[in-house]
Amino acid sequence: MDANPSTGGPQAARPTVTELRLAAFRAHRQASYRLGPLTLFAGASGSGKSSVLQAYEALTRLGAGEELAAAFPDPAGCVPEGAGADPQGRRGFRLGCTVEGPAGTVRLDLAVQAEPELRVVGERLTGDGRTLLSTALRDPGRTAVQAAWHTAGSAGVTRAPLPDDRLGTALLPLRVAGSTQGQLHVIAAAEQVVLALRSAFACDPQPHRMRRPVAPGAGRLRRGCDNLAEVLHRTRSECAKRHARLAAAARAGCVGEVVDLVVEELADGTVQALLGRGRGRTATPVGRLGEGELRYLGLALVLLTGPGVLAMDQVAEVPPAYQSLTVLADGFDRCLDVAQRRELVALAAEMCARGHIRLVGTLADATSARGIGGVTVVDLGP
């Protein structure tokens, strides 16, 4: 079990994203959102709920070293409608986050040009009131930004070009020598941000794909939860306590009596999941369940597992005890009835309170989250 933060154990050393900032990004002109262990964004369609999670996920992809084009497949669509271009015909947006961890409070701010071509035009990493990294696009004709990072040696700042299609912070640990205290500080801050961003799992259960039997494999749950049966087979054999907790969640969120979640192998070698009904009754294949029941089961499985079970990019060089998992769940209440919503939010609050995970999600209706301890609801309004 993870140590309590107040004791200074591993959980206290886990880098976590505690704030997200968006400027000129979709529906958000200038916004800053504090993120607790369980933060749910609510509001009407078009209020910007999904945009918050899209921004967060884009930062996670950049933190993993991916190119801008992978993080922003539709860059022009990220710029607010009606936003004008500057005299050079450029339009763009800004994203940022704050990460708390062993290196203290570290801020990352990124300016992205979406048009006429996608590129980084500026980046700033700050900590302890000091600018640790700054980049700027000095020559639009070059595919590079001019970077300067804190050194605190004989030369206070080191300057070098960095690619204009990647996050400079993610590249710093490979570029900074670490031969001075200043350089070590820069590396620690950059690694803290990268670790926090990479320790995220975006999920969106797809009921139409979850109904099909699947081939046995590594047992790592994919984003769409389409390999639910494969993962249940693994959890049932490897962690009886966790599997029992999942079965209890199924009893609370599925129609009819549920005594267990079981997996059977079919003649073609694939496996399918079933709800054990008990009392001599025939088990129900999950393929027969409604969309709400399937999304509920998928999200409950995500909440009750961890990085070793989820198909996510783990940071192998950092012990799991020092990594925090943040689940990104757009449409957390999609297709669910009132009882399922309430049960799922309560389960999320329980897991987040244990330090098992953190969760950032969106709700169409915040009513189900009201009054549940540990839940932060951000109402974006109409």
Q: What is the pLDDT of residues 241-295, one digit of tens each?
A: 888 999 999 999 999 999 999 999 999 999 999 999 987 788 999 999 999 999 9
> Is the distance from CB of 122 to CB of 115 less than 8 angstroms?
no
Indicate whether 151 pLDDT > 50.
yes
pLDDT mean over 50-71 = 97
At residue 193, the pLDDT reads 96
Strand partners, 162: 145
Percent of the chain with pLDDT over 90: 71
H-only helix segments in 256-321: 291-304
Q: What is the rounded distance in angstroms from the CA atom of residue 14 to the CA atom of residue 351?
A: 16
Structure tokens at 118: 């996608």
Indicate whether 341 pLDDT > 60.
yes
At residue 191, the pLDDT reads 94
Indicate whether 162 pLDDT > 60.
yes
- Each residue of 191-220: pLDDT tens digit? 999 999 999 999 999 999 999 999 988 889
- The rounded mean pLDDT for the chain is 90
Structure tokens at 250: 């199924």
CA 83 to centroid of chain Cα atoms:
28
Which residue bears the tokens 């941000």?
A: 193
pLDDT mean over 159-178 = 92
pTM of the model: 0.92
> Is the distance from CB of 54 to CB of 77 less than 8 angstroms?
no
Indicate whether 173 pLDDT > 70.
yes
At residue 279, the pLDDT reads 78
pLDDT mean over 319-348 = 90
Q: What is the rounded distance in angstroms from the CA atom of residue 172 to the CA atom of residue 274?
A: 48
> Is the distance from CB of 114 to CB of 81 less than 8 angstroms?
no
Helix, strand or coil, per DSSP, at residue 55: helix
At residue 235, the pLDDT reads 84
Strand segments (E) across the chain: 16-25, 28-34, 38-42, 91-101, 104-115, 119-127, 130-136, 144-150, 157-163, 200-203, 260-265, 271-276, 284-285, 326-329, 358-363, 376-379
> Is the distance from CB of 145 to CB of 161 less than 8 angstroms?
yes
At residue 8, the pLDDT reads 41
Q: What is the rounded distance in angstroms from the CA atom of residue 352 to the CA atom of residue 37?
A: 6
At residue 322, the pLDDT reads 66
Indicate whether 13 pLDDT > 90.
no
pLDDT mean over 359-369 = 92
At residue 345, the pLDDT reads 96
At residue 314, the pLDDT reads 62
Query: pLDDT-derived band of residue 16, with 50, 70 and 90 as boundaries?
Result: very high
At residue 350, the pLDDT reads 94
Structure tokens at 143: 């595919």
Indicate whether 175 pLDDT > 90.
no
